[in-house]
Structure 1
Amino acid sequence: MDEALFSCLAQWLAAEPVVLATVTATRGATPRKAGSRMLIARGRTAWSVGGGLAEARVTAAARQLLSSDGLGESLEIDLGGGSGAAGICGGSMQLELRRWHGAADLALAQRIAGQLQAGHAAALPAETAGAVQWLRPNPRLLIVGAGHCGAALYQLARQLDFNIWIFDSRGEVADPALFAGATVFSGDYARLAMALDTGRTVDAVLLNRDFHADIATLDVLCHRPPRFIGMMGSRRRIREVVEALPHHAAALQRLQAPVGIEIQAETPQEIAVSILAQLIQVRRAG
């Protein structure tokens, strides 16, 4: 989220002041947690800190800040259900609102956006969010196998803040024209090492056409194991793949196979939903 958000912030700041609203702490049940952010300008907003009346109050406070000479303020949103509360979730949210404006803030937003887009972490200074916060670039989703399931996973993953790379040894299948916005490559499996050479965390999903391709893929990935390695296949296929790589036994302990949350998925799109649900779970746990 932060990668696209700060790119948007830099674009908006070229035209007008913008308030960055950051959830800094929560207690109890809340729609969003610490680190959630949104942008508020005079006539537009982007992203969300929870929606409903709570977000309406954040937006109103932000626009009041835009109309003043103030630089920022703290805001508490009560969701306890009592008189004057913004909801009945039962918890509360602490937010910092910071008005970004002028050449110095534009330069800062551009620097942060550039660092994140290059795959590097970036520091958000304390004066912009109440305390120093480290922003992380989008995780890289490495999809190995560009067939029906790989294509379905790509289509849905585009909505979920992934830096998508797609590999297939078959050049005719790994067609960049079919995967707009993704890095697409093919050829020898040794080329997979390029996808691991990054400051981003990497989540790898193997959707290969046969177990020989799985073995070749894992033989490369296990030298520098990604945060998540998932593989599609039957129990028998998974067992045979693992048995073929005894020298990678330690790295393969993290292999999630069959990949995806069990929802009785059958179609490529359903399989993609189950995989992305698991990846979201891993992201939140991290």
Structure 2
Amino acid sequence: MLNFYQQLATALQQGSVVLATVVKVQGSVPREVGAMMLFRSDGSSIGTIGGGAGEASIIEHARHVLATGEKQGVDIDLSGNLEHTKQGICGGRMHVWLERWQGESALALANEIVVSLQAGQDRVLIMPFASARSPYLSTPSSLLATPDDPAFITPLLHPPTLLIVGAGHVAVPLAHMAHLIDFRVVVQDDRPEFANHQRFSDATVLAQPIAPAVATLNTGALLYVALVTRGYQHDLAALRVLLPRSPHYIGMIGSQKRVKTVLQALQQEGIPDMAPSLLTAQLERIYAPIGLNLGALTPAEIAVSICAELIAVYRGGNGRSLSGSLAATPLSME
């Protein structure tokens, strides 16, 4: 989300844009309510509302909105069959709201959104449907939309933070991929030759020991941790600092033997000011070895498996193949 609004602000510096937002869905559709896509005057775009013929239709409407400034709602019917549909056959319907953003006021709003997201502030973006009203920011406690003043309301969710402990070979593709799936990425390693911005251009880099690095993290952010260190001693040091913070997710790379050694050591030694029962509960929550079982071997493949697990935890998925349910269902060819 943060990355999208940063790109919106950049695009507005270059001219007018049209923001397409999915505001209502019914049935099976490719994107969720709140999904956004940005159209520039040069014909380029950022983001997606699902691709295919449905998105192509939205592009045509966006050209009209860009030229006229008239807000517009567009229904995309994805419930057709192969012979008759022109918009796709996902099985559902989408209502997409199109609105032109332009000028200094729009740029100021985009920048304000970016600042709010970076600061973790509790804000919502309100997009009134009335033609004479412009989008604006508000707080959840002071929403102004009423039945007489309908609007689409988008919560501005602070991106989850992924702390990557260890800046070795796996960390490089992991940091890049995690950035692509909208995590705020922080990389920690006490070796400056590994932990530097040349290797991690998409991340905040902390070239220092783990304890002071963790102390700098935003306590209000949803924290995910990937331990991809160079040895189990570094896993132990990191877990002693991180477990009392109760991260939403902790995953640890390594063999079954390494994982067992680390967990047993923590259980036996304990952590100061942490009750044994709480420590046990926290240890049981660690994903170790980290990642989904994809048969990954290379650093990039391992990074994919870790990001797949991050998405599953964040979105509440089960990590199983999507083809499973369809494969078990006989298909009618009539």
> What TM-score does the superposition give when structure 2 sets the normalisation length?
0.78
Which of 130, 151, 155 is the matching residue for 1:130?
151
**Closer, same or farther: CA 24–233 of 1 in aligned 2, 3 Å:** same
Q: Indicate the residue corresponding to 1:140 in structure 2.
A: 161
Please say if 1:221 is aligned against 2:242: yes
CA shift, 1:78, in A, is 0.5
CA shift, 1:162, in A, is 2.5
Which of 192, 211, 234 is the matching residue for 2:232?
211
User: Aligned runs of 1:1-286 on 2, under 5 Å?
Assistant: 2-43=1-42, 44-70=44-70, 72-82=71-81, 83-127=84-128, 128=135, 130-194=151-215, 196-246=217-267, 247=276, 248-285=279-316
CA shift, 1:121, in A, is 4.7
Moved more, 144-153 or 125-134: 125-134
Any gaps of 5 or more consecutive residues in structure 2?
A: 129-134, 136-149, 268-275, 318-334
Tell me how far apart the structure 2 counterparts of residues 123 and 19 of structure 1 sit (CA, whole Å): 19
CA shift, 1:67, in A, is 2.1
**Closer, same or farther: CA 151–7 of 1 in aligned 2, 3 Å:** closer
CA shift, 1:222, in A, is 1.0
Query: What is the aligned-residue identity percentage?
Result: 39
Letter in 1 for 2:36: R
> What TM-score does the superposition give when structure 1 sets the normalisation length?
0.90
CA shift, 1:15, in A, is 3.6
Tell me how far apart the structure 2 counterparts of residues 73 and 81 of structure 1 sit (CA, whole Å): 23
CA shift, 1:34, in A, is 1.6
Moved more, 131-140 or 115-124: 115-124
Tell me how far apart the structure 1 counterparts of residues 48 and 24 of structure 2 sit (CA, whole Å): 15
Map Cα deviations across residues 51-101 of structure 1 (whole Å, 9 max, x no partner): 11111111111221222242x222211001254541111111122222222
CA shift, 1:242, in A, is 1.9
Q: Give secondary structure in 2 for the equivalent of 1:156.
A: helix
**Closer, same or farther: CA 148–10 of 1 in aligned 2, 3 Å:** closer
CA shift, 1:136, in A, is 1.8
**Closer, same or farther: CA 257–75 of 1 in aligned 2, 3 Å:** same
CA shift, 1:173, in A, is 2.8
Letter in 2 for 1:275: I
CA shift, 1:189, in A, is 2.2
- Work out which of the two has the higher radius of gyration on C-alpha atoms and give 1 or 2: 2
Map Cα deviations across residues 8-36 of structure 1 (whole Å, 9 max, x no partner): 22222234322211112322222212221
Is the 1:23–1:49 Cα contact (8 Å) retained in structure 2?
yes
**More RCO (CA 8 Å, sep 6+):** 1
Letter in 2 for 1:30: V
Tell me how far apart the structure 1 counterparts of residues 191 and 12 of structure 2 sit (CA, whole Å): 44
